[in-house]
Amino acid sequence: MERADQLLTDLQDCEAASLVGAHDAGVEIAARALQTARDCGLLPEAALAAAWLAEHQLRRGESEKAAESARAALAEADALELHQVGIKLRNTLTRAWCQLGRADEALPEAMWALGRARSLGAPGLVSRSLSSLAGVVELLGDHPHAVTLLHKADEEAQRDSDKVAQFSAVVNLAGALCRTGRTLAHLPGPLAPTEAQAADLREALAVVQRAKALAQGHVRWEMVCAEIECLSLEALGRLAEMRAAVDRHRALAIQAKAPDARAESELLHADWLLASGRALEACEALDQQVDAAAAQRNEGCRRWWWRSRYRAFKAAGADAQALAALEAMVVQVRRDRELSLNAQARVLLGEVRMEIAQQELAQLRREAQELRERADVATQTSLLDPLTGLANRRALDARLRAVLPMGPGPAEGFSLALIDIDHFKQINDGWGHDVGDTVLCEIALLLTGGVRGGDFVARIGGEEFVVLLWGQALDDASLACERLRQQVQAHDWSRFVPGRQVTVSMGLACAQPLDDAAQLLRRADQWMYAAKREGRNRLQGG
């Protein structure tokens, strides 16, 4: 039990480390959680730990390790039908492939994650998947389409209560707009954006204000916002405002106590010095204040490091040092361009092959459509209770598998109510099974009419029903269930069972992190029997 408790704590700490940018610690915690889960034979928890391991590896610049960890866990997550974990793994894998320049491998992962997220109807997951897809599109050189996708990701995130998803979407949009406005930022001399680029930069500054409102209290988040502000203001020539943003970033970097954060802060300061016409001071800052090892820890920061050195030394007339920086930068730019062109070529080749395959498979598609329609009818029938027309136990199991386990941390939860008709055997014995069936159908109508459109009602056998109340914690769900119980009690049953009142006993359980379907149903069942023991016609839950 102690190891299981420690595992749950470690999984929660993985998420906490991600929020504060403690990715070194996150890798260590996630690796420990993964080993513990495997030792205990807890496969769902092992898949979730692997997802966090890949995420932290990616965030600290270890793209190849992140891709390896994500790929290793995907098969297990898919086999266990852990759809949310699978989406998280594929989004991480997409970003890793993008950092490695492998858009052809990233694209199918991004499309799969987006399709699955949409099928689950989860706006936060859809938003993250759209952001991942935008990264692929940007790698392929289609910046306008990438920005369009990020606008859609932002819209989806606003429909979700997850603050992390909201911040990620809005800051990714601001970053993409900033990059679009700084496409010639590697050139020496003052930046001179076109009017279209200036418009993108101004929009980036407007969008980042929303990100700042969400980032309050999160040092790493605030640093990202300050960095986008600095780079956008530099390109627009608003240097006084840039200096204030640089100072904010430096104060946050000191608070974060991370070498890479301090290196980024000093790079921003050097860029401000250069933009202010103080090239010699910028060169001195780059030589003496920037931690070169920290500055080159990941691809993005490494490009920034060489670009700043080239521009500063070129402006200062230090040609030998400028040339050395330029040569390093050219190697980097050539590598990026080759990766992008190779990725585009592979994707285009895939499109040609797809077109040929589509022509060859056209006839098979038509034949398959007829079979699919028949199969759909059969599947739909197999998921319905023939008496009441409600979902059956098989449909309930499928729905619970799709949403459980939710994983540790905040999530849009739900509650499950198990409902049993009191003394139903007496109705069958006293009035016959035909009347009993009619009572069951009336209960089904009362339940479906008394819940919201997105809630789920099923008859799982005999006189037992289940209601899934989406997005409702225990207090709200208790109120909803109590209304259902009262509606059943107040219904006119005299048409079917004269002189008898039909009532129900209800057990209510709120889904918890790492619950599986059996655990959740077991808790609801225990509460339902507690209601029976207390005298029936009541609700019990916890």
Task: Please list the active-site residues.
Answer: 463
CA dist 180 and 204 (Å) reads 10
**Whether the Cβ atoms of residue 149 and residue 130 lie closer than 8 Å to each other:** yes
**Whether the Cβ atoms of residue 152 and residue 164 lie closer than 8 Å to each other:** no
CA dist 346 and 530 (Å) reads 62
- Residue 456 pairs in a beta bridge with 468
Q: Which ranges of 383-432 would DSSP assign to H, the alpha helix?
A: 393-403, 424-431
CA–CA distances in Å: residue 303 to residues 10, 260, 300, 326, 520:
34, 14, 5, 11, 50
CA dist 390 and 236 (Å) reads 60
Q: Which two tokens stand for residue 425?
A: 């055997």
> Which contacts qualify for 532-539: CB closer than 8 Å, 24 or more apart?
532/420, 532/422, 532/505, 536/422, 536/423, 536/503, 536/505, 537/422, 537/485, 537/489, 537/503, 537/504, 537/505, 538/485, 538/505, 538/506, 539/478, 539/481, 539/482, 539/485, 539/505, 539/506, 539/507, 539/508
Q: How many helices (DSSP H) and strands (DSSP E) are in the chain?
A: 22, 5
Q: Euclidean distance between the first and final Cα of the chain, in Å?
A: 22
**Whether the Cβ atoms of residue 101 and residue 342 lie closer than 8 Å to each other:** yes
Task: Find tokens 């038509």 and name the residue.
Answer: 366
- Residue 459 pairs in a beta bridge with 465
The conformation of residue 528, written as its DSSP 8-state character, comes to: H
CA dist 312 and 379 (Å) reads 67
Q: Identify which of 311, 245, 301 has the alpha carbon closest to the alpha carbon of residue 278.
A: 311
Q: Identify which of 399, 503, 529, 394 has the alpha carbon closest to the alpha carbon of residue 443.
A: 503
Separation of CA 479 from chain center: 30
